């Protein structure tokens, strides 16, 4: 395998094996890269699924900033259609869900942006190649190649063609360790708890039993034979079984309450969900009592999602929009307003208050509500909204009233003068 246009130094092309010798490279959870066992733990799966669904529900677009007219969606952007259908196999929402799921599960993932077509593909990352020896000419001075897995095919591509998503913990800004690496013991403990609970139900909610013999048996083979016999009888589906004469069965039942199974499970859920910035109620656990959904969404947005959103915006700006377009005023925008939605009544009160106090312009408020904008220009006054043209021409009700009062006053004053004469 030749790393064309990447490992090119003084006209020489390096093979894959030669590159390994010249480059320092880093694997991403190489031992458990494709392990799906962790996803069988229900809380772990819920945390990843919640994060993926939340980010995928946001609005993605390329916008253009105009100093006079503000920001608008850049429909003229050459890859604008990719925000509906990024590739031939999926829509944009499912692509983002796949990207985030892989990134949260394995620590880091990427969207491969095809330089020829602009199509986007969610990919796993096997390893990074970093040119410590200075073999690659690079404007940034930090040339990086990435081995990706896309559609079950392995490929080595330049880092600048990969829109990175970090779902784990990074210490160098290039690679990342998955969260599950640090909470592996908790996940395995919960998996073992699920197995114990399943076995308990399979055995009719009876855990273990003590078999008391009427005589002392010294032969180990005979003891094992008896154990095997009773184990087969005890773990059968039937609720009733017979005990041969000379044997006494005493159940050793350790109830879930005695083992504090519920308490330990609740503690594990809280610990695991907090690693993703979530509360148990957000993943459908421990919802007893009143929950302030709006406050939870705001805290989750500010404490957890904003950094992920900002990271994606910068990656898209640099690697998809391009610096030339970026310097012209184009930028990638992820609108997280959907996370701040509240009841229609409260939303109305907030927008009205913002408009009255000048925080929102009337045009911006209309845009939030999806109301068509007018092109005549509207000014917000304490008494309401008026057209700028009418305000300048004095065709506003309070100005008309003011003129009438002034005219009436002048007329009355003139009448008094006539009487004095």
Tokens for 288, please give them: 């007893």
Mean pLDDT, rounded, of the chain:
76
Query: Which of 127-136, 147-156, 204-213, 316-325 is the least confident region?
Result: 204-213
Round the CA-based radius of gyration of the chain to a whole number and report it: 34
**Strand pairing partners for 27?**
127
Q: Is 72's pLDDT higher than 80?
A: yes
Instruction: Tell me how far apart the alpha carbons of residues 93 and 115 are, in angstroms, rounded to a whole number.
Output: 21
Q: Judge whether 177 and 107 are in contact, CB under 8 Å.
A: yes
Spell out the alpha helix ranges (H) of 57-170. 92-106
The residue ranking higher by pLDDT, 334 or 172, is: 334
Highest mean pLDDT out of 127-136, 197-206, 254-263: 127-136
- The residues spanned by each domain of the chain are 8-181, 185-260
Specify the length of the chain in residues: 421
Q: Which H or E run contains 330?
A: strand 330-335
Q: What is the pLDDT of residue 308?
A: 94
Largest CA distance in the chain: 142
Q: Which of 268, 262, 211 is nearest to 234 (CA)?
A: 211
Q: Which long-range contacts (CB under 8 A, 24 or more apart) does 199-203 make?
A: 200/256, 202/235, 203/234, 203/235
Confidence of residue 382 (pLDDT cuts 50, 70, 90): low
pLDDT tens, 244-264? 666 666 666 656 555 566 777
Confidence of residue 60 (pLDDT cuts 50, 70, 90): very high
pLDDT tens, 311-349? 999 999 999 999 999 999 999 999 887 777 666 777 778
Using CA atoms of 370, 373, 378, 381 in order, give the dihedral in degrees to the nearest 10. -10
Highest mean pLDDT out of 100-104, 370-374, 411-415: 100-104
Instruction: Tell me how far apart the alpha carbons of residues 45 and 219 are, in angstroms, rounded to a whole number.
Output: 48
Query: Which of 9-18, 193-202, 393-402, 411-420 is the least confident region?
Result: 9-18
Tokens for 161, please give them: 């063609």
Confidence of residue 120 (pLDDT cuts 50, 70, 90): very high
pTM greater than 0.75: no
Highest mean pLDDT out of 32-46, 65-79, 342-356, 407-421: 65-79
Q: Which H or E run contains 145?
A: strand 144-150
């Amino acid at each position: 395998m030749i790393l064309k246009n990447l490992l090119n130094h003084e006209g020489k092309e390096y093979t894959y094996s030669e590159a390994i010798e010249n480059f320092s490279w880093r694997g991403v959870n190489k031992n458990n890269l494709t392990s799906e066992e962790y996803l069988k733990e229900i809380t772990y799966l819920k945390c990843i699924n919640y994060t993926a669904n939340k980010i995928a529900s946001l609005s993605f677009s390329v916008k253009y900033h105009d100093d006079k007219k503000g920001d608008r969606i850049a429909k003229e952007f050459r890859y604008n259609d990719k925000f509906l259908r990024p590739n031939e196999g999926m829509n944009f929402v499912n692509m983002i869900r796949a990207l985030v799921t892989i990134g949260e599960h394995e620590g880091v993932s990427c969207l491969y942006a095809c330089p020829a077509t602009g199509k986007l593909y969610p990919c796993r990352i096997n390893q990074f190649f970093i040119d410590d020896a200075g073999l690659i000419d690079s404007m940034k001075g930090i040339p990086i190649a990435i081995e990706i897995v896309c559609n079950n095919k392995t490929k080595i591509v330049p880092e600048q063609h990969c829109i990175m998503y970090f779902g784990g913990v990074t210490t160098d800004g290039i690679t990342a360790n998955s969260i599950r690496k640090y909470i592996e013991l908790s996940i395995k403990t919960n998996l073992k708890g699920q197995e114990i609970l399943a076995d308990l139900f399979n055995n009719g909610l009876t855990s273990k039993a003590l078999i008391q013999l009427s005589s002392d048996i010294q032969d180990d083979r005979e003891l094992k034979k008896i154990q095997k016999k009773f184990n087969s009888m005890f773990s059968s589906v039937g609720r009733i079984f017979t005990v041969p004469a000379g044997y006494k069965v005493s159940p050793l039942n350790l109830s879930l309450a005695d083992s504090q199974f519920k308490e330990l499970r609740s503690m594990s859920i809280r610990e695991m969900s907090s690693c993703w910035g979530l509360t148990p109620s957000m993943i459908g656990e421990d919802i007893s009592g009143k929950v302030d959904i709006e406050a939870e969404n705001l805290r989750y947005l500010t404490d957890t999602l904003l950094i992920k959103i900002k990271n994606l915006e910068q990656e898209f700006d640099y690697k998809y929009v391009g610096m030339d377009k970026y310097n012209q005023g184009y930028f990638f925008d992820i609108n997280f307003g959907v996370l701040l939605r509240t009841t229609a009544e409260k939303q109305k009160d907030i927008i009205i208050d913002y408009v009255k106090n000048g925080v929102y312009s009337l045009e911006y408020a209309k845009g939030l509500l999806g109301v068509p904008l007018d092109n005549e220009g509207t000014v917000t006054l304490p008494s309401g909204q008026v057209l700028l043209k009418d305000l300048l021409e004095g065709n506003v009700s309070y100005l008309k009233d003011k003129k009438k009062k002034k005219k009436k006053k002048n007329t009355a004053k003139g009448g008094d003068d006539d009487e004095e004469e």
